[in-house]
Amino acid sequence: MGIENTSVVFRTILTVNLCGLYNWVSMRQWKTVSIIGVGLIGGSIGLALQRRGLAERVVGIGRRETSLDAALRCGAVTEATTDLGAGVADAELVVACTPVTRIVQHIRLAASACPSGTLLTDAGSTKGSIVEALTRQLKPGVAFVGSHPLAGSEKIGPESARDDLFDGRVVVVTPTAAAPTDWVSAIVEFWSSLGASVIQMTPEDHDRAVAATSHVPHVVSAALAAATDPGLLNLVAGGWLDTTRVASGDPQLWLQILRDNRPHVLKSLDKFAKVLNSFRDSIHEDDASRILELLQAGKQCRDAVGN
Amino acid sequence: MGIENTSVVFRTILTVNLCGLYNWVSMRQWKTVSIIGVGLIGGSIGLALQRRGLAERVVGIGRRETSLDAALRCGAVTEATTDLGAGVADAELVVACTPVTRIVQHIRLAASACPSGTLLTDAGSTKGSIVEALTRQLKPGVAFVGSHPLAGSEKIGPESARDDLFDGRVVVVTPTAAAPTDWVSAIVEFWSSLGASVIQMTPEDHDRAVAATSHVPHVVSAALAAATDPGLLNLVAGGWLDTTRVASGDPQLWLQILRDNRPHVLKSLDKFAKVLNSFRDSIHEDDASRILELLQAGKQCRDAVGN
């Protein structure tokens, strides 16, 4: 298993690195990239590949004609099909951008229909169960390396796709010991070629981390919105609007994510609840120095990141 | 006590209402408006008054020369002083935009030094204790009507001030039964003239409402940021960034707000904690329909508001 035997074309393009310096770098040019699921992430991959001249054909694969038509209209894909097997028949790279509970099934179907040598990856928000299910069960010459671009938002659909969605964003790639190094490198280079910074982690470390940085914030945001009396919505301002923004995300997608990453989400929620209780107690006891300490701890952590 | 005896100048200007229609409306033109505290809110009032041609002189009053210099430089005020008495000597309107624990003292000082007929208001995030302390204790011919523009943010200082900060934003005006109607109307018209929509509420109702729509979101946001392992900050994305944004706010200001509105904040925090616990339990029990219900309730409430 390897990609040495495929005919790989590279393109040298001018990029700008994180220090603002321009570099000439070689990026792989794909003949055919197939994207399963042409929503915000899938559509943005298609747009980014084309803006950067990195793919001759971008095949969008989806269940609904309306989404595929929208993806075609906004130029996210060059062709579209509802037939997964036909859609990956010429693929050098397949990216599954479907909801987390569908990814394993879609990658298995793609693996059975794609040519030998095809790279397979995904964009799922959880990695443990997906990577475990896909590590050893694909056909010879085809392997899966898990990915998670940290670029989702409450917006959905190809209409929200942007060709710069991955510029400067982090993508976590989660190889296992079983993953051939050259496949992992190819997936890392793919995301880098779209403008992202790639971090490699184990699936377990990834799931533990994103429970804290993404899944618990979603639960907190949704709980805050749900706890707000609708009669007070004319009095919300910037703070409430920011803090509850992600609560607009698709409930079905988030249900899957929270269930799939249940143990880590629960641990991380308990850590949050502990800090919140401490906050509540300090306000109840009117303990000014403790309230200040907690406000300062929050500010310090938030300020460390920037906008 | 009343404003009928003052020489009031009105200016007819073209405004755009919430339906996008243009209206000619008469707006009071002030000779001298004095603003105590020239930060984000105070500076923005000064800029808005001048952009709309509604004040000949805007006097900035502050403790620190550096802030006053910054306010002069960015054009938020036309003159500046550290002497509160001198700063309000010619004022027709005084707006105290200082931290909530200083407002009562500043309005009292202003009331004792300003001419008879001067309107006094504030921009404090809490209203109960401030309005109660200021209702009956000012000199004849001078009265205070409490206000709260819902336009704060994590940004501070006159450098962040904007002449459109109040455009389309809500300002709550909290008159008591003791407040003369013409004074209340004048304060309502003042905020309307800056582009805001004004809602009148009792101080008690205001404090109960903003506990839910502003103070608890701040506590939740700060707790979420404080609970995040600093080693994971390279993995945060849009959701965490939005949900924790207000945690960057000034801890000293927020300490005062949370202490001043303690009973309502505690009640509202308990309501949030109840919803969060219900969320936690439903994830723990893997109760998909209950998780979905909570996610949908959050989305419904958030979608009802828009961006």
- The pLDDT confidence band at residue B16, using thresholds 50, 70 and 90, is low
- The pLDDT confidence band at residue A19, using thresholds 50, 70 and 90, is low
CB contact under 8 A, B301 and A230: yes
pLDDT the model gives residue B301: 97
CB contact under 8 A, A153 and B238: yes
Distances (CA, A) of A111 to A105, A119, B251: 10, 9, 54
Q: Which two tokens stand for residue A264?
A: 């880590």
pLDDT the model gives residue A8: 74
What is the least distance, in Å, from the CA of A136 to any CA of chain B?
A: 28
Question: Which of B232, B283, B286, B287 is the best substitution to test chain A (most A C-beta atoms within 10 A)?
Answer: B283
pLDDT 10s digits, A107-126: 999 999 999 999 999 999 99
Q: Which two tokens stand for residue A207?
A: 């799931």
pLDDT the model gives residue B179: 83
Q: Which H helix or E strand runs over B102?
A: helix B100-113
Strands B170-174 and B146-149: antiparallel
Residue B124: CB partners within 8 Å, gap ≥ 6?
B96, B100, B103, B130, B146, B148
Q: Side-chain half-sphere of A33: how many Cα atoms within 13 Å?
A: 31
Contacting residues of B for A101, CB less than 8 Å apart: none
CATH code reported for the domain at A205-303: 1.10.3660.10
CB contact under 8 A, A279 and B223: yes
Q: How many CB pairs under 8 A join A and B?
A: 289
pTM: 0.89
Contacting residues of A for B169, CB less than 8 Å apart: 237
pLDDT the model gives residue B157: 86
- The pLDDT confidence band at residue A17, using thresholds 50, 70 and 90, is low
- The pLDDT confidence band at residue B156, using thresholds 50, 70 and 90, is confident
CB contact under 8 A, A283 and B262: yes
pLDDT the model gives residue A9: 74
Q: Is the pLDDT of residue B135 over 60?
A: yes
CA atoms of B225 and A271, how far apart (whole Å): 12
What is the least distance, in Å, from the CA of B118 to any CA of chain A?
A: 29
Contacting residues of A for B284, CB less than 8 Å apart: 266
User: Hey, where are the domains in chain A?
Assistant: 9-201, 205-303
Contacting residues of B for A251, CB less than 8 Å apart: 292, 295-296, 299
CB contact under 8 A, B298 and A247: yes
> Which amino acid type is present at position A140?
P
- ipTM, two decimals, is 0.89
Percent of chain A clearing pLDDT 70 (strictly above) = 92
Average pLDDT, chain B: 92
pLDDT the model gives residue A27: 80
The 3 state secondary structure assigned to B132-148 is HHHCCCCCCCCEECEEE
CA atoms of A70 and A201, how far apart (whole Å): 34
Contacting residues of A for B253, CB less than 8 Å apart: none
Q: Side-chain half-sphere of B207: how many Cα atoms within 13 Å?
A: 24
CB contact under 8 A, B292 and A236: no
Contacting residues of A for B153, CB less than 8 Å apart: 238-239
pLDDT 10s digits, B31-80: 999 999 999 999 999 999 999 999 999 999 999 999 999 999 999 999 99
Question: Which of B220, B234, B267 is the best substitution to test chain A (most A C-beta atoms within 10 A)?
Answer: B220
CA atoms of A39 and A66, how far apart (whole Å): 11
Using alpha carbons, select from B220, B181, B176, B165 the residue that is nearest to residue B48: B165
CA atoms of B264 and B253, how far apart (whole Å): 17
Burial class for A106, CB neighbours closer than 10 Å (0-12, 13-18, 19+): buried
CA atoms of A175 and A203, how far apart (whole Å): 8
First to last CA, chain A: 43
Looking at residues B91-98, what average pLDDT do you find?
98
CB contact under 8 A, B152 and A239: yes
pLDDT the model gives residue B54: 96
Q: Which residue among A214, A232, A234 places its CB closest to the CB of B239?
A: A214
Q: Which residues pair with B306 in a beta bridge?
A: none
Look up tokens 């989305």; give the residue. B299
Q: Side-chain half-sphere of B171: how many Cα atoms within 13 Å?
A: 28
Q: Which residues pair with B204 in a beta bridge?
A: none
Q: Is the pLDDT of residue B125 over 90?
A: yes
CATH architecture of B9-201: 3-Layer(aba) Sandwich (3.40)
3-class SS of residue A92? coil
CA atoms of A79 and A72, how far apart (whole Å): 7
Cβ neighbours around B189 below 10 Å, total: 15
pLDDT 10s digits, B249-270: 999 999 999 999 999 999 999 9
Q: How far does Cα A125 stand from its chain's mean position?
A: 6
CB contact under 8 A, A220 and B276: yes
pLDDT the model gives residue B13: 63
What is the least distance, in Å, from the CA of B91 to any CA of chain A?
A: 30
